[in-house]
Structure 1
């Protein structure tokens, strides 16, 4: 299995300890990690609300044309305009984990959990987050509010992830 990642604005985490997840209170405390394919969803400041979406094999032509029609990107991430300066000024740190103690919670989303404390094998700073997204082949879209996109994607045939939406302008 490939390496797994965790992204933080804190460069000093020496040990990741399982904790409850506020969006998943039904789950036991865990250390959360993301696989490489889904890592770009986390190349943004932690509290930045975002919607990431891409085509599925069974996505309708209408939905692909509507949401992805004029892009060659495999994945689109939309964020609110007000986050632009914060994104430009934020340094994230990519922590790399061995997958040994992790299990896959959701393959489609790339989420992995460990119920044991974990130490990172490596930590690298990511300074130019927009550049990192660009290098990952992601199209980054800015919008005044994520609400119209959130509502439209819920009834679409695309795969989407809505992260930190509690911080969005609704």
Structure 2
């Protein structure tokens, strides 16, 4: 059975009901989930801005050398240093779903959304994540702390890496 995940600071969600996505208001309501390989992008407090990047099939040799030759990590995630204490102190829960109610929306980012007509999704399991920094290390993620994500955002946009920019509305200017 394929599994998908959702991460939340709320340990008491019994059913996930489709809703509009604030970044994609033209899409019909859905429940969103992430695959295991991309799950570490969500090992953070919900509102924490972050940028995750990794190789993709057509990443240029120049971008690979500049961004990833100096690491053995599967993924690099940059976070603003002002969020350190919140990451350290957040209690996060992983909700596990069977994948049957979902279809892939973005393979490169690992995003899935429920099929049209699904009225609710019920978790198979809910478990606390524990120390988020330890979980990131276990997932072979390189974590980078920076005063502001804005310069990295501007630098990454024209590059050939797979990247996800999450909650950037909360990033420092």
Give me the TM-score of the superposition, normalised by structure 1. 0.97
Aligned to 2:3: 3
Counterpart-to-counterpart distance in 1, 2:57 and 2:26 = 31
Q: Is 1:118 the equivalent of 2:121?
A: yes
Q: Equivalent residue of 1:27, what SS?
A: coil
Counterpart-to-counterpart distance in 1, 2:86 and 2:64 = 30
Counterpart-to-counterpart distance in 1, 2:56 and 2:102 = 26
Aligned to 1:93: 93
Counterpart-to-counterpart distance in 1, 2:55 and 2:112 = 22
**Contact 1:6–1:32 (Cα < 8 Å) also in 2:** yes
Shift of 1:58: 2.0
Shift of 1:57: 2.4
Root mean square deviation, CA, Å: 1.0
Aligned residues: 170
Counterpart-to-counterpart distance in 2, 1:100 and 1:92 = 25
Q: Is 1:76 the equivalent of 2:76?
A: yes
Structure 1 regions of 5+ residues with no counterpart?
none
Residue by residue, what CA displacement relative to the aligned partner does 1:114-160 show, whole Å, maximum 9, x if unpaired?
A: 14201100001012001100000000000000011101111111110
Q: Is 1:150 the equivalent of 2:158?
A: no
Q: How does 1:2-151 map to 2 (within 5 A)?
A: 2-114=2-114, 115=116, 116=118, 117-151=120-154
Counterpart-to-counterpart distance in 2, 1:72 and 1:100 = 33
Structure 2 regions of 5+ residues with no counterpart?
none
Q: For structure 1, which segment, 22-31 or 59-68, has the greater mean C-alpha deviation from structure 2 after superposition?
A: 59-68
Shift of 1:103: 1.1
Counterpart-to-counterpart distance in 2, 1:145 and 1:9 = 24
Counterpart-to-counterpart distance in 1, 2:64 and 2:86 = 30
Counterpart-to-counterpart distance in 2, 1:64 and 1:111 = 23
Counterpart-to-counterpart distance in 1, 2:109 and 2:60 = 20
Q: For structure 1, which segment, 160-169 or 98-107, has the greater mean C-alpha deviation from structure 2 after superposition?
A: 98-107
